């Protein structure tokens, strides 16, 4: 029983030391590509949201300046 356990552990150790492939070169390539595309879309959405926030903030400041002038 002990020898079987040692043999299994030895086999696992040798298999872990094998050649490592990039994740993009495996069967997970479509999932990795989809995740990369989703991150790119998320970045664009964040940029758009930030521009919208800045535009709203600028328009609020302009509206506040007009109220102070009495318009």
Q: Are 65 and 57 in contact (CB under 8 A)?
A: no
Q: What is the rounded CA–CA span in Å between residue 66 and residue 71?
A: 6
In this prediction, residue 66 carries a pLDDT of 65
Q: Is the pLDDT of residue 60 over 90?
A: no
Give the model confidence (pLDDT) of 17-59 as tens digits.
666 767 667 788 898 899 999 999 999 999 999 999 999 999 8
Return the domain boundaries, the chain. Answer: 21-69
What are the CA-CA distances from residue 3 to residues 15, 28, 47 (Å)? 18, 36, 60
* Of residues 61 and 34, more confidently modeled: 34
Q: In the prediction, which pLDDT does 17 show?
A: 66
């Amino acid at each position: 029983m002990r020898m079987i356990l040692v043999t299994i552990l030895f086999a696992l150790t040798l298999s872990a030391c094998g050649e490592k492939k990039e994740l993009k070169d495996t069967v997970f390539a479509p999932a990795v590509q989809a995740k990369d595309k989703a991150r790119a879309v998320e970045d664009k959405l964040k940029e758009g949201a930030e521009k919208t926030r800045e535009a709203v903030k600028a328009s609020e400041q302009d509206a506040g300046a007009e109220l102070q002038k009495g318009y």
